[in-house]
Structure 1
Amino acid sequence: MDGGGAGGTNTGKRPNGQLGSWFIRSGWSKGELARQVNRRAREMGAHHISTDTSRVRRWLDGEQPREPIPRILSELFSERFGAVVAIEDLGLRSAHQSPSVSGVDLPWTGPQTVALISEFSRSDLMLARRGFLGTSLALAAGPSLVEPMQRWLVPAPPGDPGRTETGPAAPSALPGLSGPELDLLESTTACFRLWDAQCGGGLRRKAVVGQLHELTDLLQESHPEATSRRLFRCAAELAELAGWMSYDVGLQPNAQKYFVLALHAAKEAGDKPLGSYILSSMSRQMIHLGRPDDALELIHLAQYGSRDSATPRTQAMLYAMEARAYANMGQPSRTKRAVRMAEDTFSDIGLDGEPEPDWIRFFSEAELNGENAHSYRDLAYVAGRSPTYASLAEPVMRRAVELFAKDEDHQRSYALNLIGMATVHLLNREPEQSAALAEQAMRVAGKVRSERVNTRLRKTLSAAARDFGDVADVVDLTERLAARLPESAEAV
């Protein structure tokens, strides 16, 4: 093994205080960090890397390691803390990579969007074992994520051929796809979306990625503008769904990349409401990763971009996500205002008689209650386990659970809201009720393949065991969960 592969340059032997701070808070020893780096390097195929405790010490002393070590360290610390820990946060430098491999600041042109979707989906299919492709990616956060997304609002240059036809400019279009063929593509996407809601992201993710890759072959041909826009809309929906499924199974860098590509495709389709929905998915991921400030900026971007075109259901969903971001930022008055706006706008659904796209139909009364209840629940935690906000969350979460119990098509959401209700009971110091709901969630979780559900179950029961380790129901359920769902670090 080449130990030098894990080395790098030494810049004046000044200790790396940023890396040292993260390292101390992680609780790892130098040997444990070295072993994790080596394991991750082997997963990437970087077998030349062999790190040891002395090498870790040199990084802490200020040595700048060569790639892929900075990416690996970013991944490991992100997993450890459940939030984005960028390479720069560690006081490290990363080597330049092409936009097709990493980064989110991509060209906003039709042909390049198609090429990037084709390349990324192909790589995902080829390197589809869990975590492998993710190790070649870096999560973007802060301005490096938000600023490129703002270009979604910039009008296309007049006469840009990438906006009106796919592939090279051509004097005449090839024979177009028939209406029934386009209908079939769209109905297939709707079917994939239903499977995801019923079964979780782990079962059909590769099928969605494969369909997306096949679609790029069609997009590389010339089509009439109307056909091109429908194909781009279908690509945007498939890319968003691939991102959502990746998020659900814990492949966070992959998820972000698909979301970004989906937003580019939505712009080519000229579909602003769809773009706002994609931004809401990105916002949800940022909340999950502990970046509510980024989540709020993405939601505001979505609201501004679709203010004149989104249906009441889409607007209500965006307000609900705005409330989630404010709650995680610890802003009660703004959270409550956004919750009220979500409820008021939801009550307008159907008044205008406008048909709604399939991608927003998931946002039912159950989802509205679930999101708003989680906002109050999150506020309670941010406010130091406030009983006031827990009491606001309880009736709304109970209503969400009641509604999802009747909905066979959204079993993952049912499980997540059962877990949410269990956390509310923990806030109210009612461990037996919490354990009963967590047990019910565990039964529902057995029907879906969702690392997100499994992770929330583990975290909820871990918190219950920490606070109520002397309660028999909690001890019994914790032991059964450990046997059924062994610990599995999420691939961030």
Structure 2
Amino acid sequence: MAEKQPNEKLTSWFGRSGWSKGELARQVNRRARQIGAHHVSTDTSRVRRWLDGEQPREPIPKIMSQLFSERFGSVVSIEDLGLRTAVPVSTVESGVDLPWSAPQTVQLISEYSRSDLMLNRRGFLGTSLALTAGAALIEPMQRWLAPNQGGTPTPILAAASGGEQFSGRLSEPELQLLEQTTVMFRQWDAQNGGGLRRKAVVGQLHEVTDLLQESYPEQTTKRLFRLTAELAHLAGWMSYDVGMHPSAQKYYVLALHAAKEAGDRPFGAQILTDMSRQMIHLNRGEDALELIHLAQYGSRDSASPRQQSLLFAMEARAYSTIGEVNRCARAARLAEDTFSDCGRGDNDPDWLKFFSLAELNAENAHSFRDLAYHTTRSPLYASMSAPVMERAVDLFREDPDHIRSYAFNLIGMSSVHLLQNEPEQAVVMAKQAVDIATRVRSERLNTRIRKTSAAATRNFKDVAEVGQLADLVVQDIPEFVPTG
């Protein structure tokens, strides 16, 4: 096991605060009681261990961020204190290594969606879940590639293929309506963020798994599995958007199982793509790269040009996270070249239509921006990112159906301005993103705004506009309180 390294960031903030270890411990305990976290009871020895590199559990990182922000009069984020985002990660015991069989997939999705609805109705969020990473995640996901054992139909499909007795009474118009409802949910998410309709999606998912308890002709059963996969994926995406990372991963994995039962390789690749996106968000670039390569391999004979372009773009994002300059540039170039093969008459499914020219520019711009963070040649990659990010902003400005994506690229443009030592321009873009963030429900967006504002304050604290932005963020972007 690697030896803990002293937390130099926390030590620096602590030294400037003027607090003693005992005073910080008392303030943490007092704030914890105020928010109902009565299990928190810290002392001077615990504070010493934090300074030595131990990572405190939630809600202590959030409490410390609030305390130091109040002490210094500006945003001091969890990352600024050297405290990683508080998502428990398991790399040994996997909570995602599930049986690849139709009946068990239906049962697991039904049980998890019901549990999600019940827990959130009572105000609990399943915080005992841990995010799975490393080999414990990648190895089970590789089984997506394997055919069903012996090439025979799974039990549900075998029962449905007899052609004699079907217990299900779902009509074709009803099935079409369910599919249209999923499209509507996807539109709501793009326009309003994941927090607004997450519970409705989970409820619909649970209802569809009830339908899968009955028997239908094989094609109907496969359509129901495809619908289940899309709803579970959407529940995962919305959970990710509101900051519920372990729940998001659980839904993604269940969605991948359902997509396998539907025989839908392209959609399985899309699920893995968003699992990769989540790992990039959590700064686990190697895991992100493994997932996107698995998606590329699994869909190599079935992905359309639009999906191939998306996969290359996300590969570039993963490479940028680990500072692989040449491979990132190559993947970004392939994304552009492949996108040029998309035609207006492409018959892409609804779940893929979001990947537009605006999205392509956004992904590549963020790849170049992230290279600026992870390499020593920051000015070069910031200058490469700027015009591409600007194109993304311009394209999304004209797209009212993807307002959240517009805000993400506004705050992305703001971060590029900071890299180019242009704090005033950064504030202009960030304020526009804050305005949108107050109208959508996306903790992902809120986190990006807080992080960018904190970076501005850290590097340009004497610029008046930066102080105004910090005040605006504290006022208009509330602290993260997950909801169902």
TM-score (norm 2): 0.84
Q: 2:127 aligns with which of 111, 115, 135?
A: 135
Amino acid across the alignment from 1:477: L
Q: d(CA) in 1 for partners of 2:5 and 2:380?
A: 35
Q: Does residue 424 of the first structure (1) align with residue 427 of the second (2)?
A: no
Q: 2:85 aligns with which of 75, 82, 101?
A: 82
Aligned to 1:449, what secondary structure does the other structure show? coil
Change (3 A) 1:37 1:124: farther
Aligned to 2:446: 454
Change (3 A) 1:437 1:269: same
Q: d(CA) in 2 for partners of 1:395 and 1:377?
A: 11
Amino acid across the alignment from 2:260: K
Q: 2:221 aligns with which of 228, 242, 246?
A: 228
**Would the aligned equivalents of 2:305 and 2:342 in 1 still touch at CA under 8 Å?**
yes
**Would the aligned equivalents of 2:201 and 2:234 in 1 still touch at CA under 8 Å?**
yes
Q: 2:144 aligns with which of 149, 152, 157?
A: 152
Aligned to 2:293: 300
Aligned-residue offset at 1:488:
3.2
Q: d(CA) in 2 for partners of 1:152 and 1:295?
A: 16
Q: 1:437 aligns with which of 426, 429, 434?
A: 429
Aligned to 2:261: 268
Amino acid across the alignment from 2:220: T
**Would the aligned equivalents of 1:370 and 1:396 in 2 still touch at CA under 8 Å?**
yes
Aligned-residue offset at 1:446:
2.1
Q: d(CA) in 2 for partners of 1:163 and 1:26?
A: 55
- 1:211-236 Cα offsets, whole Å, 9 max, x none, are 00111110111111101110010010
Aligned to 1:468: 460
Query: Which runs of 5 or more structure 1 residues have no equivalent in the other structure?
Result: 1-15, 61-70, 97-101
Q: d(CA) in 1 for partners of 2:98 and 2:162?
A: 21
Change (3 A) 1:426 1:50: closer
* Cα RMSD for the two superposed structures: 3.5
**Would the aligned equivalents of 2:403 and 2:436 in 1 still touch at CA under 8 Å?**
yes
Q: 2:381 aligns with which of 371, 386, 389?
A: 389
Change (3 A) 1:23 1:420: closer
**Would the aligned equivalents of 2:57 and 2:86 in 1 still touch at CA under 8 Å?**
no
Aligned-residue offset at 1:149:
0.2
Amino acid across the alignment from 1:181: E
Q: d(CA) in 2 for partners of 1:163 and 1:219?
A: 9
Change (3 A) 1:37 1:268: farther
Q: 1:191 aligns with which of 184, 189, 199?
A: 184
**Would the aligned equivalents of 2:168 and 2:214 in 1 still touch at CA under 8 Å?**
no
Amino acid across the alignment from 1:271: D
Q: Does residue 361 of the first structure (1) align with residue 364 of the second (2)?
A: no
Q: d(CA) in 1 for partners of 2:362 and 2:369?
A: 10
**Would the aligned equivalents of 2:58 and 2:86 in 1 still touch at CA under 8 Å?**
no
Count of residues paired in the alignment: 450
Change (3 A) 1:405 1:354: closer
Aligned to 1:107: 99
Q: d(CA) in 2 for partners of 1:165 and 1:22?
A: 59
Amino acid across the alignment from 2:369: R
Query: Which runs of 5 or more structure 2 residues have no equivalent in the other structure?
Result: 15-20, 63-77
Aligned-residue offset at 1:486:
3.6
Change (3 A) 1:143 1:350: same
Q: d(CA) in 2 for partners of 1:370 and 1:346?
A: 13
Q: d(CA) in 1 for partners of 2:40 and 2:383?
A: 53
Change (3 A) 1:435 1:424: same
Aligned to 1:164, what secondary structure does the other structure show? helix
Question: What's the % identity of the aligned pairs?
Answer: 58
- 1:160-215 Cα offsets, whole Å, 9 max, x none, are 43362579999732254222111111110000000000000011111111100111
**Would the aligned equivalents of 2:161 and 2:218 in 1 still touch at CA under 8 Å?**
no
Aligned to 1:377: 369
Q: d(CA) in 2 for partners of 1:458 and 1:222?
A: 50
Aligned-residue offset at 1:279:
0.2
